[in-house]
Amino acid sequence: MTDVKGLERMATQVRRDIIRMIHQVSSGHPGGSLGCADLFVALYFDILRHHPEQFTMQGKGEDLFFLSNGHLSAAWYSVLARSGYFPLNELATFRKLNTRLQGHPTTHEGLPGVRVASGSLGMGLSVAIGAALSKKMNKDPHLVYCLTGDGELQEGQVWEAALFAAAKKVDNLIAIVDYNGKQIDGPVDEVVSLGDLKAKWLAFGWETLEMNGNKMEEVISTLREAIKHTGKGKPVVILMKTEMGFGVDFMMGTHKWHGTAPNDEQARRAMEQLEETEGDY
Amino acid sequence: MREYQILGHADTRSGFGEGLLAVGKQNPDVVALSADLTDSLKMDAFAKAFPDRFIQVGIAEANMMSMAAGLAIGGKIPYTGTFANFSTGRVYDQIRQCIAYSGKQVKICASHAGLTLGEDGATHQILEDIGLMKMLPGMTVINTCDFNQTKAATIAIASHAGPVYLRFGRPKVPIFIAPDMPFVIGKGLMLQEGNDVTIFATGHLVWKALQAGVILAQKGISAEIINIHTIKPLDEECVIRSVQKTGCVVTAEEHQRNGGLGDSIAQCLALHHPTPIEMIAVNDQFGESGKPEELLVKYHLNTPDIVAAAERVVGRKI
């Protein structure tokens, strides 16, 4: 049985980690990280079949996760550490010289949990498709997950990947779009609108689900529904509505916190809203 | 001096196709991806023999390069196949982030490189690819000279740890490397010993360099001819050892001077053994339509150009 309350408490702690990590070095991307904290926790503490303490690059016999929008590194690192991939206190090295926790995720420093570098946008879905194909070739029935941003869908490569995955029936793949409607220069609708995004994925031949990514119970149930749709000849995508900055009132409802670090006072106010549930790093 | 015998004529891309089939038989982890150029790259034999290990990606090279990285994560050894232009410039960021920086075992196999692509013209005649690839940390860069060498290289790169850029071409050219010659990544190949000048050549210009060597001998100049098939990592020991003997250098390649083999040799010599050098390469120009041999003449990548460069550089020796 899934302990939804427990997952919610973990998500609150992850949000604390995000703010503390970014504040500590006065750099990073709090907005999307806060918005996707619930998804990261749901995946790593409930959905993924994985072995955090015996990380291997290939991940044979495990589900794999790829973060395409690598600027959500703070959220991912927090969840990787708290689920056992590397020591929790290493979060204190985020974005500092000689760290394994680079500004954007990389395999280059050997951080367990990371299988490819990401940061330059639009590539993660293609990588995930390649990994999913190798699972099929290896007769490994496990699944591959990939998170992308919504602004990231402006990259043409994403649609090359979307076309390919449906045409070649890559049905062991679940893509999740962080549909927060915001990007660096403003609302996605104003920068370059995605139009009817659901209709686009449907037209590309994907099984298309929707969920509120900031309601843990719904995140869990939708991910489980997505899993039921795998193995049926179609890739699966979840359009995940989130609020950028979720959990910190003054970071919500604006794109301004995409890539801005809080100052001391802002970090203090954020901490007041995020209870220390699992112990700070 | 020995004269090399022409063992036949074939395109280097056919050497790739045969090598891919052979390495596919040897190693079940080898998979191949094609971006709608399966026949052009002679990958059809592999596709027919191993349909479950062949992925037709369509005209989507960015997707292909990142997918190849994903396949490498799954323990595969992916060979990507498309033209050199679409293997490098078009997908530079995908290669940089997903393959080179991520340290993936992807073998980027690039045909139709250089001017000798011919009639299709400058849009397809990439002359910058060696430079683009050699700048990426950890990338091995290979440019093969004939059918047999291309086949051997295609097989050898499977067991090399890390990403590789393998460059070859379109036209039928002489075969002169023995079919059983082992391909050793990163080692210069001595083709002819000499005393007066060293010619370092790569790709299609290796045969031109050998022809130049014959003419130079008639003129009383003893040329040492070394095939540098691996531009990175450069066999610096081989380069310096030869130049210590001959005292001057000609480089020959079907590539821009900027970023090519000549640039790598010049850097090595400037640092370790300053030496007069002449470079046979395209100098800051785009190509154009024409027959391969006509283009090599017009852009001064032909045998007489190598001969003239050798005579010039011998005259510059102190």
Task: Please give, rounded to a whole number of angstroms, the shortest distance from the CA of B287 to a CA of chain A.
Answer: 29
- Does residue A272 have a pLDDT over 80? yes
> In chain B, positions 98-117, which contact chain A (CB-CB < 8 Å)?
98, 101-104
User: What pLDDT score was predicted for residue B259?
Assistant: 98
Phi then psi dihedrals of residue A174, to 5 deg: -125, 115
What percentage of chain B exceeds 70 in pLDDT? 99
Cβ(A274)–Cβ(A19) below 8 Å: yes
Q: How many angstroms separate the CA atoms of B10 and B21, rounded?
A: 17
3-state DSSP assignment of residue B96: helix
Could you list the beta-strand ranges (E) of chain A: 64-67, 144-149, 173-179, 182-183, 186-187, 207-212, 236-241
A123 in contact with B at a CB cutoff of 8 Å? yes
B27 in contact with A at a CB cutoff of 8 Å? no
Q: Which of A124, A138, A164 sits opposite B75 (nearest CB)?
A: A138
Q: How many angstroms separate the CA atoms of A136 and A132, rounded?
A: 6
Q: Find the length of chain A.
A: 281
Chain B residues whose beta carbon lies within 8 Å of the beta carbon of residue A128: 70
- Closest-CA residue in chain A for B62? A157
> In chain B, positions 35-94, which contact chain A (CB-CB < 8 Å)?
52-53, 55, 57-58, 60, 62-76, 78, 93-94
List Cβ neighbours of A190 (8 Å cut-off, separation of 6 or more): none
- Closest-CA residue in chain A for B94? A123
Q: What does each C-alpha distance from A103 to A163, A212, B79, B223 come to in angstroms? A: 31, 28, 31, 53
Q: Which two tokens stand for residue B236?
A: 């610096």
3-state DSSP assignment of residue B282: strand
Q: Find the length of chain B.
A: 318
- Over residues B152-185, the pLDDT tens digits come to 999 999 999 999 999 999 999 999 999 999 999 9
Cβ(B73)–Cβ(A131) below 8 Å: yes
Q: Which two tokens stand for residue A232?
A: 């049926």
Q: How many angstroms separate the CA atoms of B54 and B48, rounded?
A: 9
Residue A10 exposed, middle or buried by CB count within 10 Å (0-12, 13-18, 19+): buried
ipTM over 0.85: yes
How many CA atoms are closer than 13 Å to the CA of A268, on its beta-carbon side? 3
Could B63 and A164 be called an inter-chain contact, meaning their C-beta atoms sit closer than 8 Å? Answer: yes
Task: Please give, rounded to a whole number of angstroms, the shortest distance from the CA of A151 to a CA of chain B.
Answer: 18
> In chain A, positions 221-280, which contact chain B (CB-CB < 8 Å)?
none
Question: Quick one: average pLDDT of A32-58?
Answer: 98
Could B74 and A133 be called an inter-chain contact, meaning their C-beta atoms sit closer than 8 Å? Answer: yes
The residue with tokens 């395999």 is: A107
- Closest-CA residue in chain A for B93? A120
Q: Which two tokens stand for residue B150?
A: 């291309």
A127 in contact with B at a CB cutoff of 8 Å? yes
3-state DSSP assignment of residue A148: strand
Could B70 and A130 be called an inter-chain contact, meaning their C-beta atoms sit closer than 8 Å? Answer: yes
Cβ(B280)–Cβ(B306) below 8 Å: yes
User: What pLDDT score was predicted for residue B318?
Assistant: 74
Phi then psi dihedrals of residue B217, to 5 deg: -60, -40
- Does residue B108 have a pLDDT over 80? yes
Question: Quick one: average pLDDT of A113-130?
Answer: 98
Q: Which of A60, A124, A134 sits opposite B76 (nearest CB)?
A: A134
Could B73 and A108 be called an inter-chain contact, meaning their C-beta atoms sit closer than 8 Å? Answer: no
Interface test with B, best of A120, A123, A146 (most B CBs within 10 A): A123
Q: For residues A96-132, b (16+ Cβ closer than 10 Å) or e, as one string?
A: eeebbbbbbbbbbeebbbbbbbbbbbbbbbbbbbbbb
Chain A residues whose beta carbon lies within 8 Å of the beta carbon of residue B67: 126-127, 129-130, 133, 161, 164
- Does residue A1 have a pLDDT over 80? no
Bridge partners of residue A174, in order along the sequence: A145, A236
Mean pLDDT of chain B: 97
Chain B residues whose beta carbon lies within 8 Å of the beta carbon of residue A67: none
- Over residues A184-229, the pLDDT tens digits come to 999 999 999 999 999 999 999 999 999 999 999 999 999 999 999 9
Closest CA to B137 of B103, B106, B185, B107: B103
- Closest-CA residue in chain B for A61? B74
Q: Which of A60, A119, A131 sits opposite B70 (nearest CB)?
A: A131
Chain A residues whose beta carbon lies within 8 Å of the beta carbon of residue B97: 117-120, 123
Dihedral (CA of B84, B89, B91, B95) sign: positive
- Over residues B257-302, the pLDDT tens digits come to 999 999 999 999 999 999 999 999 999 999 999 999 999 999 999 9
Residue A251 exposed, middle or buried by CB count within 10 Å (0-12, 13-18, 19+): buried
Question: Quick one: average pLDDT of B54-64?
Answer: 98
Phi then psi dihedrals of residue B141, to 5 deg: -125, 120
Using left for φ > 0, alpha for ψ between -120 and 50, and beta otherwise, residue A231 falls in left
User: What pLDDT score was predicted for residue B29?
Assistant: 98
DSSP B285: -
DSSP A198: H
What percentage of chain A exceeds 70 in pLDDT? 100
Q: For chains A and B, what is the number of CB pairs under 8 angstroms?
A: 114
Bridge partners of residue A183, in order along the sequence: A186
B258 in contact with A at a CB cutoff of 8 Å? no
A159 in contact with B at a CB cutoff of 8 Å? no
Q: Hey, what domains does chain B have and what are their CATH numbers?
A: 10-171 (3.40.50.970), 189-315 (3.40.50.920)
User: What pLDDT score was predicted for residue B23?
Assistant: 98
Task: Please give, rounded to a whole number of angstroms, the shortest distance from the CA of B62 to a CA of chain A.
Answer: 6
List Cβ neighbours of B237 (8 Å cut-off, separation of 6 or more): none
Chain A residues whose beta carbon lies within 8 Å of the beta carbon of residue B86: none
- Does residue A104 have a pLDDT over 80? yes
User: What pLDDT score was predicted for residue B3?
Assistant: 75
List Cβ neighbours of B134 (8 Å cut-off, separation of 6 or more): B141, B231, B232, B259, B264
- Does residue B1 have a pLDDT over 70? no
Cβ(B273)–Cβ(B242) below 8 Å: no
Q: Hey, what domains does chain A have and what are their CATH numbers?
A: 4-273 (3.40.50.970)
Could B52 and A137 be called an inter-chain contact, meaning their C-beta atoms sit closer than 8 Å? Answer: yes
